[in-house]
Each structure stands twice: as C-alpha cells, then as structure tokens.
Amino acid sequence: MPRPAASSDVAALPPPTRRGLKREEAAAYIGVGGTKFDAMVADGRMPKAKRIDGRRVWDVRALDHHFDLLPGGDDSDHNPWDE
C-alpha cells in the first residue's frame, strides 16, 4: 500500500483524477502547503470550499480559475535591473 504524499513529494503527485479535492490535495495541486493555502483562501486568492454534507471539498476547475488569475507567468513582472 503506498504511503500518503508528504509536502516534499508534491512534485511526484499525479494530476487529480476527480473533480473534488480535500484541503491537502488542493494545496498540493496548486503547489503550496496547507497553511499557505488557508491564507490564500482567506484573502480570496483561492476559492472557498464547497460543502458536501459535513466535508469541505475544493473544485479543481475553481482552483484552476483562481490559479490563472494569480500574477506572474509572463514577463509583466520582469525587471531588467534585477539581472
């Protein structure tokens, strides 16, 4: 039986195969730890969870959307003086 992935094993995680992710899975999916993920949810950079009965589940599509809105990923924040 495989052991659960530790935060250092995030790069080794396969892409999710289901739409709803637990908190730890959602954090790993976007490449951050649980505490940073909680802060990003609190400040609106990541979506709030959906409730399924008593469980909190994050929608992969909502995570993708919010991740796409994060700054970076292009040269808009590039400063030639930093080279």
pLDDT at 66: 98
Beta-carbon contacts of 38 under 8 Å, excluding residues fewer than 6 positions away, are: 23
pTM for this predicted structure: 0.70
Q: How confident is the model at residue 52 (pLDDT cuts 50, 70, 90)?
A: very high
Residue 37 has pLDDT above 90, yes or no: yes
* Chain mean position to CA 1: 26
Q: Residues 16, 24: contact at Cβ < 8 Å?
A: no
The band of 77, judged by pLDDT with boundaries at 50, 70 and 90, is low
Q: 46 or 83: whose pLDDT is higher? A: 46
